Amino acid sequence: MKGKKRDYREDLMDEAVDRSEGSFSKGTRVLTNLPEGYEFVKLQKGNNLLDIIPFEIKSSNYPKKDKGRIAYHLFINVHRFVGPGEQHNFVCLTQYGKKCPVCEFLQANKSKLSEDEAKKLKPKQRVYYNVIVLTDNIKNKKISLLESSYFEFESKLKEEFQYKLNENNGIVPFSDPEEGLSVMVRGSERVFLGRTSIEPKKFDFVERKNQHSENIIDEAVSFDEFLNVLSYEEMFSLFHGVGEIEDVEEEDDDSEEEVKQAADHPEERKRREKTRSSIASIECPEGHVFGKDYDNYTACEECKKWKSCMEKFETSFNNDEEEDEDDEE
């Protein structure tokens, strides 16, 4: 932002208030070719003091965000550890309005997959931040990178921000370089499947000891520039462990037409209708709207009824499409 002054605070406030919605394997990564000098950090047990630094969006890779806007985090849907050897991490293409081979496979095989298998394939909401770690025992105060689950970090961060917003009636965005707040995150140790990790438990905002210059935005990583957004063909090939997708299509030229005919078959329509009836009476255990609020809340991540909720969400969508087709006819 050197040499050009603009009011970025509106972008940061909108992002904090309005949006409702490392470590990588040796396979496909979400971010590639990151600039040198930036390292991923992890939360420590106890108090973690962070300054979140916003960045400028410099491409069209950030879903539903315009180039030139300022954001304090990258929010992205990712298929994590899928494909042969569970080594690939794919940016889900549906958030760009495109077909996604992993989502298609999940949809086509959901009746055959176990709940754990289906859950493994569904896209996960991930967030990435530029942060300056101010915890006392951290000596390097340069910008580092932090990755986390949306449910574990961003949802709790935003919940605390909303509380402070209502309490103080007009707090400035915490990530504002010149007038922002530091974020205090309490890390709690947990053990899962024999592995120990740190879970962010409690969030609070505290006055910064030192503010930053607006120009620090130029030093932050614009994550969208380094997003590894594959084409459908590339992702299909990697996910299914095949060479070129053309080879697969030549062996199954009629597959798309056959699938369409099968979907329109009276027996298939009866099966879908039976599915709709069986899940129509299920209620959300958290009090949300079952089949409509699918994957919109923190509790969705571990809910035992998420698969049924997903099916109702999808059948409702398909039903609307069928009604639209009937209207066109």
Backbone angles phi, psi at 209, to 5 degrees: -75, -35
Question: CA of 31: how far to CAs of 28, 37, 258, 318, in Å?
Answer: 9, 15, 37, 33
Q: Give every CB contact of residue 322 below 8 A, 6+ residues apart in sequence.
A: none
219 lies in the same domain as 274: no
Q: What's the confidence (pLDDT) of residue 287? A: 74
The answer to the question of residue 246 being in a domain is no
pLDDT, tens only, 85-130 = 999 999 999 999 999 999 999 999 989 999 989 999 999 999 999 9
The answer to the question of residue 122 being in a domain is yes
261 lies in the same domain as 113: no
Q: pTM (2 decimals)?
A: 0.69
The answer to the question of residue 3 being in a domain is no
The answer to the question of residue 2 being in a domain is no
pLDDT, tens only, 231-246 = 999 999 999 998 544 4
In 3D space, the residue among 86, 73, 30 whose CA is nearest the CA of residue 230 turns out to be: 30
139 lies in the same domain as 209: yes
207 lies in the same domain as 147: yes
186 lies in the same domain as 47: yes
Q: Please count the structural domains in the chain.
A: 2
224 lies in the same domain as 258: no
161 lies in the same domain as 265: no
The answer to the question of residue 73 being in a domain is yes
25 lies in the same domain as 114: yes
278 lies in the same domain as 189: no
- Looking at 232, 262, 283, the residue that finishes a domain is 232
Domain hosting residue 306, numbered range: 254-328
pLDDT, tens only, 157-184 = 999 988 877 776 666 689 999 999 999 9
Q: Which of 20-34, 149-163, 210-224 has the lowest mean pLDDT?
A: 20-34
Q: Which of 54-63, 246-255, 298-307 has the lowest mean pLDDT?
A: 246-255
- Looking at 199, 232, 265, the residue that finishes a domain is 232
Q: What's the confidence (pLDDT) of residue 80? A: 94
pLDDT, tens only, 312-324 = 665 554 444 344 4
Q: What's the confidence (pLDDT) of residue 242? A: 82
Spatial contact of 73 and 127, defined as CB atoms under 8 Å apart: yes
| CATH number of the CATH domain containing 28 | 3.90.198
3-state secondary structure the chain: CCCCCCCCHHHHHHHHHHCCCCCCCCCCCCECCCCCCCCECCCCCEEEEEEEECEECCCCCCCCCCCCCEECCEEEEEEEEECHHHCEEEECHHHHCCCCHHHHHHHHHCCCCCHHHHHHHCCEEEEEEEEEECCCCCCCCCEEEEEEEHHHHHHHHHHHHHHHHHHHCCCCCCCCCCCCEEEEEEEEEEEECCEEEEEEEEEEEEECCCCCCCCHHHHCCCHHHHECCCCHHHHHHHHHCCCCHHHHHHHCCCHHHHHHHHHHCHHHHHHHHHHHHHHCCCCCCCCCCCCCCCCCCHHHHHCCCHHHHHHHHHHHHHHHHHHHHHHHC
The answer to the question of residue 245 being in a domain is no
Question: Who has greater pLDDT, 116 or 266?
Answer: 116
Taking the C-alpha atoms of residue 251 and residue 281, their distance in angstroms, rounded to an integer, is 43
Average pLDDT for 138-163: 88
The answer to the question of residue 111 being in a domain is yes
Characterise 99 by phi-psi region: left (phi > 0), alpha (psi -120 to 50), beta (else).
beta
218 lies in the same domain as 300: no
Where do we find the tokens 């000098």? 37
299 lies in the same domain as 153: no
26 lies in the same domain as 149: yes
**Apex CA 201: angle with CA 195 and CA 202, to 5°?**
160
Question: Who has greater pLDDT, 250 or 101?
Answer: 101
pLDDT, tens only, 288-300 = 777 766 555 556 6
- Looking at 181, 200, 232, the residue that finishes a domain is 232
> Could you tell me where the beta strands, DSSP code E, fall in 98-245?
124-133, 143-149, 181-192, 195-207
The answer to the question of residue 241 being in a domain is no
- What 8-state DSSP symbol labels residue 226? G
Any idea how long the chain is?
329
- Pair of tokens at residue 106: 């999940």
Average pLDDT for 32-38: 93
pLDDT, tens only, 178-218 = 999 999 999 999 887 778 889 999 999 999 999 999 999 99
